[in-house]
Amino acid sequence: MKKSIILTLACIAIVSFSACNTGKRSNTTKNGTEVADAAHNSRNSLDWTGVYKGTLPCADCEGIQEEIRLNEDQTYEMVMTYLGKGDNRFTDNGRFEWDEAGSRIKLTSATSSGDADRWFKVGENQLIALDIEGNPIESTLPADTYLFHKIDTDNVITEKYWKLIELNGKEITFASEGQDREAHFILKNDDNRVIGNTGCNHMNGSYTLSQEENTIHFTPFATTRMACIGVDYEAEYLDMFQLCDNYTLQNDTLTLSKGENPLARFTVVYLR
């Protein structure tokens, strides 16, 4: 009887150990390579669609600011801005595919050759840039150098490209001739800077903002001095920033006002 009890306990221990060991194995192996649990990975567990923004190192500029939009149909759009080099912007688009583990994506450009493929590791509200083989980048730079954060596109007016669509009740459109840039501004989080364009000249300054009270104030802007052809509202546009003291945000439309009097309306444009 005693031997029977000992044998029974031994069998239970073996079964329990086997069950526990199986429960700890969230991964399987295939051809000697570990593969993530297909039921729990970045692809099927995270809300990965959206716009991500980061700044990568640059050999001959202040940095390469990139915005990447990942779409549900596994297409992407990207804009790259070479900081410190004026309006040196480039756009790209294409498709991306997930690796077998569901944790990394490879972006394949529709306009560039295969050697331009880009790899990213997908995390919670972030992307991490990888090397050309899909491995972590070996660098002496801080780890967050290669980190892209997902942009909150709701109820936030900073770090967005605001395109002018109405000024003092008049519709503003882009002139097909004589105008190189559309009138816009961007509120940068760094040092509360404002950058933008009047539709002719570059402008920059600073701002103060209270999102709780929806108040905003701008310093006088510095601008370039190019002659403006086809843009007759530049002075009026610059004056508007000095007059406004509050804003309202409704969906993708931003209104700058003086008291209850609306002065200008803007629409958000992503990936600019």
Structure confidence by residue, pLDDT tens digits, 98-144? 999 999 999 999 877 656 789 999 999 999 999 999 999 999 999 89
Last residue of a domain, one of 150, 182, 216: 150
Highest averaged pLDDT of the listed ranges 5-9, 12-16, 139-143, 163-167: 163-167
In a domain, 28, yes or no: no
How many domains in the chain? Answer: 2
* Residue 100 and residue 50 in one domain: yes
DSSP string, 205-268: EEEEEETTTTEEEEPPPEE--PPPSS---HHHHHHHHHH--EEEEETTEEEEEETTEEEEEEEE
Q: Residue 108: its pLDDT value, please?
A: 94
In a domain, 181, yes or no: yes
In a domain, 128, yes or no: yes
* Residue 56 and residue 138 in one domain: yes
Contact (CB, 8 A) for 65 and 53: yes
SS3 state at 189: coil
* Residue 143 and residue 169 in one domain: no
In a domain, 25, yes or no: no
In a domain, 69, yes or no: yes
The pLDDT of residue 17 is above 50: no
Q: Supply the CATH number for residue 249's domain.
A: 2.40.128.270
For residue 83, give its domain range. Answer: 42-150
- Looking at per-residue confidence, does 254 or 81 come out higher? 254
CA atoms of 248 and 159, how far apart (whole Å): 16
Each residue of 48-87: pLDDT tens digit?
998 898 999 998 888 998 989 899 999 999 888 888 876 6
Last residue of a domain, one of 108, 130, 150: 150
The pLDDT of residue 33 is above 70: no
Strand bridging mode 202-210 / 215-218: antiparallel
The pLDDT of residue 252 is above 90: no
Last residue of a domain, one of 150, 175, 209: 150
The pLDDT of residue 14 is above 70: no
In a domain, 192, yes or no: yes
Q: Residue 238: its pLDDT value, please?
A: 97
The residue-averaged pLDDT of 246-272 equals: 90
pLDDT band, residue 3 (cuts 50/70/90): very low
Which of 33-47, 120-134, 162-176, 242-256 is predicted with the least confidence, judged by mean pLDDT?
A: 33-47
Each residue of 188-200: pLDDT tens digit?
988 899 999 999 8
**Mean confidence (pLDDT) of the chain:** 83
* Residue 174 and residue 207 in one domain: yes
Q: Supply the CATH number for residue 62's domain.
A: 2.40.128.640
In a domain, 22, yes or no: no
- Looking at per-residue confidence, does 225 or 263 come out higher? 263
The pLDDT of residue 25 is above 50: no
pTM of the model: 0.54
Each residue of 148-170: pLDDT tens digit?
999 766 678 998 899 999 999 99
Which residues are CB-neighbours of 208 under 8 A, at least 6 positions away?
Answer: 192, 216, 217
* Residue 140 and residue 47 in one domain: yes
* Residue 169 and residue 115 in one domain: no
In a domain, 141, yes or no: yes
* Residue 121 and residue 188 in one domain: no
Helices (H), the chain: 2-24, 42-45, 234-243
